[in-house]
Amino acid sequence: MEHREVPRLIKYYTITTGNTMGSHTQFMRHLGGGFTEVMSPEQSDVIMAFCPIVSRAGTDIEAALQQIPDDKHVILVVLHHFFNPECTVPDSSRLVTRGDIKLTVDCLFHESQGGLLNCPRNKAAIGNILIQLNMKPKVTDVVMDIPDHRNRPVWMSGMVRFFIFVYGNTLGAYVDLTRHLVIRGGCTEVMSLEESDVVMAFCPIVSRAGTDIEAALQQIPVGKPVILVVLHHTFNRDYTVPDSSRLVTRGDVILTVDCLFHESQGLLECHRNEEAVKEILRKLNIHPETESGSRCMGP
CA distance 150 to 213: 17
CA atoms within 13 A on the CB side of 38: 13
Q: What is the mean pLDDT of residues 65-71?
A: 91
What is the domain class of 10-132 according to CATH?
Answer: alpha beta
- In the chain, what are the domain boundaries? 10-132, 142-290
Residue bearing the bigger pLDDT, 34 or 48: 48
Residues with Cβ within 8 Å of 216's Cβ and at least 6 positions away in sequence, in order, are: 167, 168, 201, 203, 228
Task: Encode pLDDT of 70-89 as tens digits.
Answer: 889 999 999 999 988 888 89
Please report which confidence band the pLDDT of residue 113 belongs to, taking 50, 70 and 90 as the band edges. low
Task: Encode pLDDT of 36-64 as tens digits.
Answer: 888 889 999 999 999 999 988 999 999 99
Residue bearing the bigger pLDDT, 294 or 96: 96
- The model's pTM is 0.52
Q: What is the mean pLDDT of residues 184-204?
A: 89
What CATH fold (topology level) applies to the domain 142-290? Rossmann fold (3.40.50)
Give how far the C-alpha of residue 168 lies from the chain's centroid of Cα atoms, to the nearest Å. Answer: 17
- Residue 147: what pLDDT? 37
CA angle 123, 128, 132 (to 5 degrees): 150
Q: What is the mean pLDDT of residues 124-132?
A: 90
CA angle 19, 167, 50 (to 5 degrees): 20
- Residue 222: what pLDDT? 85
- Residue 286: what pLDDT? 81
